Structures are given as structure tokens and as C-alpha cells.
Structure 1
Amino acid sequence: MIIKKAPVFVLLAAMLWGTTGAAQAFAPAGAHPIAIGAARLMVGGMFLLLVVLFFGRFERKGWPIRLTILAALSMACYQPLFFSAVLQTGVAVGTVIAIGSAPIMSGLLELLFFKRRPARIWWMATVLSIIGCVLLFLTGDSVTIKPAGILLALGAGLSFAGYTLLSGKIVQGRGSLEAVAVIFGIGGILLFPFLFLFEMDWILQPKGFAISLHLGIIATAAAYFLFSKGLQQVPASSAVTLSLAEPLTAAVLGVVLVGEELTLLSWLGIGLLLAGIVLTALVSGRREPV
């Protein structure tokens, strides 16, 4: 059996994203989630640009400037939208709506703008994964539904889906490293003002500095480079579904590193998530004509 490399790249990227929750759990007191997100994008963007300057080649001719700016704007919007949604609705509801809505939105965006319909089995795998995500974050605590928080979470899901679709077009015919470096360099500039809105003394502490490096270099630069490599062959809708490996990884790390306990429903959710992800990986290249 031949294993396709592209879906593996996307899965590895999602697993690296899944380390962000555990890393933030060890952040110094006073580190605001939005400030952490802004610092993460700044560090990741600068690291990628330095790598391109020293080791890569940047071909300006024929560069899709409009798509690049839209992709950078989508990624810059995702960070504050997601963290604001979590603050409004709680971790469980905010994460489920933001991450769970992204695959559906990516499929709809592909259909609307590129006239591509994902295969029926993709919808089955996506539904399985979303149900698994809901069960994974389902707790016995009472949930307060705030319309503003729901809208923010849906905006985060749309931003991630839009970034995936746009970057998937950008990396066709050019290096993934250069594409990600430019997108995140611009995204970091867009989020730079957030660094002045929150207390940033935590980043000067050894623990805070180490966490910012991990989030920027590993969970952002390396992760999105792998994600872009996968997008050269994997459709955007399938890539977003595969990225649901992020909450799965976060849950496992929460148990192993942070000492969290999962309920039986949460373990069932992990099983459904795994089933949906494996199914998506097997059919990641299939599309149906409209």
C-alpha cells in the first residue's frame, strides 16, 4: 500500500498546532491569549522570512499579490477572532464552533468560487470528524450561549477556511516556504498593533520566551510550511478536515502533560475523529464535478 505524502504533511501540521494548548497552559501568569496569538504570528513570520533570506529563493515575477494579501488578512483575523470567541463562550463551545465549522465552510467556498464539489465520502468523513470534535469537548458543565461569541467563532472558522483555500492557490507552481513566509510576514505586520494593547512583560521571562519560540517556530512556521506542502496536492476542503487532528492532539497532550482527565464520551469522540481523519486521508484527492 502506497502512502500519500501530502495528507501526511497536513496531519503533521495539525499535530504541531495541537501543541499550542499545552504550551499556553505553561505560559506565565498575565499572558493574555490574544497577546500570545499575536506574538506567535510575529515570531513565526519573522523566522520564516529569515529562513527564506538565508536559504531560499524568492521569485517576485508573477506573484499573486491580491491572493497573498487576502490570505494574510485571513490568518491575521483568525487569531483574535478565535481567542475572543473562546473568551466569550468558553473553550469548549468556542473551539467546537470555530474548528467544526471550518471544514463545512471550506467545502462551500470551493463550491461557490471554484465550482468544485468534494466527494460524497468526504462529507461522511467530515460529519464523523465534527461529531467526534463535539463529543471530545462535551462536558457536564452548563453552557452559556452568547450570540456575539458564536459569531466570532464562526468568523474564525471562515477565516481559516479562507486562508486554506487562498494559500492552496498560491502554492501551486511556487515554493511552499516562500509562500508561507510572505503570508505570515504580512500577517505579523497586521497583528503588530495588538502587542501594544496587552501586557507583554511575560515574554521577557525565560518560560515566556521559550513558549513564544515554540509557538512561533514549531507550531506556526514549521506547521504551516508542512500544511502548505500538503495543499499542493490535497484539496482545501480535505485539508481543513484533516486539520481536525489538532484538537485530537491537544486532548491527548492534555492528558499526558497537563494531567487532564477525559470522559467516556471524550474517548468516543477521539475514536470518531480518528475514523473521519483516516477516511479523509484515503480519499483526499477525489472530487465530484458540479
Structure 2
Amino acid sequence: MTRSGRGTGIAAVLFASVVWGTTGTAATFAPQVGAAAIGAAAMGLGGLMQALYAWRGIRRHRTALRGQMWLLVLGGIAVAVYPLAFYGSMRLAGVTVGTVVTIGSAPLLSALIESLIDRARLSARWLLGAATGLIGMALLCLAKDGIPAGSGDAQGAIPGVLLGLLGGLTYALYSWTARSVMLRGVRSDIAMGATFGIGATLLLPVLIATGGPFLTSWGNAAVGIYMAAVPMFLGYLAFGYGLARVPASTATTLSLIEPVVAAVLAVLVVGERLTATGWLGVALIVSCLAVIALPVPATRQGPRARMRG
């Protein structure tokens, strides 16, 4: 992978993470819609759009995809569980904490999956960046000042955190399965379309059972359309493009920008509050992104050393 290819991959993951960071705040504009319906609409309809977008490629490569069906099914199940856990976490513990726990746990869980299954070795630079980001996550979570309106009471914080950890695990899992399919020669949009198509198939019954409130007002419907079209369709197209160019552990670490966006929007729009400790956490997360994303400076080496590289 060339440095320019890695750079475009990083940019794509960051774009996806920024639009994902808007989802928690967008969901607060439809308080009558339950977390299961929000998640099923976002990932179910968005996943269906991805599958339709990649349908020709999926049909052309169906033999290759059939040979990797276990990866696609595992990823599809993770796609189906992720939004239910993620949006449930935000409803119970608040936009900031739900996003922080879900996205903050994903890099460690992703690295654990790569280490156990792929026998991957993580660089010291990645470990430094991940540690910096996770410290920022912890500070941001500790800085949560009260439970915002519509997010339940303090008793929902622990179940919300547990759901967030489940969301982090499923996020890490489908990132790994999708990248594994890509590394076996399948184009990124096809791998993501097939994975999310399976997830959408599992989520659509949930949407049918719980999605009635979307039809009660134009505002609720607009939230569902936005969630499906922008963060889930465009965001995951960009994420798939990035996954084809950077490891899953790097992609999930870069996505730590999502809780920063979510926290800022929660403060400015939803009315949640961050203390100075919380803003320090935001600064550490941004520092983490710099450590992970900036290119390593070239060192001066002799001709013989360069040939070995």
C-alpha cells in the first residue's frame, strides 16, 4: 500500500466517523421513536441501500462471495446487533457516554481480534495512539455532567455502558470480517454491500415491528431518512473504501473522532454539559488521531539500507 493510498484511506475513515458522530444528536429529534426502531432504520435501510448499490458486483462475484459465506454471515449478524446496542446505549446513558463507550472500546477489541485470529503484531506507535485515545475516552466519560432529557435516569447508566461494550465488540467484528473479505480479492463496495445486505435482512423485521412512529410525523420520517442515507449509506461506503487501505485496528482507532463530534454536538444542540476534564479528553482524542494518522518521517539511510527496506 502506497503512502498516498493510506492517506486516502485515512481521509475516508475520518469522513465516515464525522458523519457517524451526528447520529446520536439526530436521534434526539425523534424522541417518540424507540432505540430499536432508530437502529433498525439506520442500519437496515442504509444496509439495503449499500446492497442495491453493489448489486451488480455482488452478482458477478457471487461464486467468490459464496466461498467466504461464513465471514459474510458473521459480519452480517454483527451489523444487525451493532445499531440495536449502540442506540440503546445512547438512550440509556446519554449521547456522549453511549458513543464514547461504544467507539472507545472498538479499537482494543479490534486489536484483540486481529491478534487472536490473524496473529497480527501491533506497532508501538499504534499502542501509543490507542492508549492516548482511550485515556481521552475515559476522561470524556467521567466528565459526563448529569443525564440529559430523554435518556433515562442514572439507573440506566450501567446497562447503557454494557450495551456500549456490546456495540464496540460488534463494530470491531464486522470491520474485521469485511476487511478479511476484501483481502481475499473482493472489491470494498461489494464486500460491504454483501455484509450490510445480510445485516439489513435481519434488521428489516425489527423495523417493521417497531418503526410505526416514523410514520406519525414528517420530522420523525426525516430523521430516519437522514440516518439511512448519510451516516449509514455514504458513511459506510467511505468506511469500506478506507478499510481496503488501512488495517481494521487502525480504522477503528481513527473512528475515535466520532465521539468527539458527538460530544460537541451533544453540548451545542442537545444540552449535555462537559467539564474541563471532558474537553481535556477531547484534546487527547485529537492527539491520538495525530499519532495514528500522520505519516512517519523518512529517516536518512544509505543505499544498502534502503534496498533492505
TM-score class, shorter-chain normalisation, is: 0.7 to 0.9
Q: Which one of 6, 9, 17 corresponds to residue 6 of structure 1?
A: 9
Q: 2:96·2:262 contact (CA, 8 Å) conserved in 1?
A: no
Structure 1 residue identity aligned to 2:112: L
Q: How does 1:184-199 map to 2 (within 5 A)?
A: 184-198=196-210
- Give the corresponding residue for 1:126: 130
Tell me: CA distance 1:252–1:91, structure 2 relative to 1, closer, same or farther (3 Å). Answer: closer
Aligned residues, how many?
283
SS in 2 for 1:62: helix
Deviates further, 272-281 or 262-271:
262-271
Unmatched tracts of structure 2, length 5 or more: 148-153, 297-309
Distance 2:222 2:100 in 1: 28
Q: Which one of 243, 251, 276 corresponds to residue 231 of structure 1?
A: 243
Structure 2 residue identity aligned to 1:228: G
SS in 1 for 2:281: helix
Q: 1:171·1:228 contact (CA, 8 Å) conserved in 2?
A: no
Q: 2:21·2:261 contact (CA, 8 Å) conserved in 1?
A: yes
- Give the corresponding residue for 2:189: 177
- Give the corresponding residue for 1:46: 48
- Give the corresponding residue for 2:305: none
Structure 2 residue identity aligned to 1:36: I
- Give the corresponding residue for 1:34: 36
Deviates further, 119-128 or 256-265:
256-265
Kindly state the Cα deviation for residue 160 of structure 1 after the two structures are TM-superposed.
Answer: 0.8
- Give the corresponding residue for 2:222: 210
Distance 1:204 1:177 in 2: 34
Q: Which one of 109, 113, 129 corresponds to residue 113 of structure 2?
A: 109
Q: 2:214·2:224 contact (CA, 8 Å) conserved in 1?
A: no
Structure 1 residue identity aligned to 2:144: T
- Give the corresponding residue for 1:268: 280
Kindly state the Cα deviation for residue 161 of structure 1 after the two structures are TM-superposed.
Answer: 0.8
Tell me the TM-score normalized by structure 2: 0.82
Kindly state the Cα deviation for residue 175 of structure 1 after the two structures are TM-superposed.
Answer: 2.0
Tell me: CA distance 1:93–1:23, structure 2 relative to 1, closer, same or farther (3 Å). Answer: closer
Distance 1:259 1:150 in 2: 20
Tell me the TM-score normalized by structure 1: 0.87
Q: 1:14·1:245 contact (CA, 8 Å) conserved in 2?
A: yes
Distance 1:270 1:72 in 2: 32
Unmatched tracts of structure 1, length 5 or more: 285-290
Q: 2:145·2:274 contact (CA, 8 Å) conserved in 1?
A: no
- Give the corresponding residue for 2:304: none
Kindly state the Cα deviation for residue 262 of structure 1 after the two structures are TM-superposed.
Answer: 3.4
Kindly state the Cα deviation for residue 156 of structure 1 after the two structures are TM-superposed.
Answer: 1.6
Kindly state the Cα deviation for residue 163 of structure 1 after the two structures are TM-superposed.
Answer: 0.8
Distance 1:141 1:251 in 2: 14
Q: 1:48·1:180 contact (CA, 8 Å) conserved in 2?
A: yes
Distance 2:172 2:60 in 1: 26
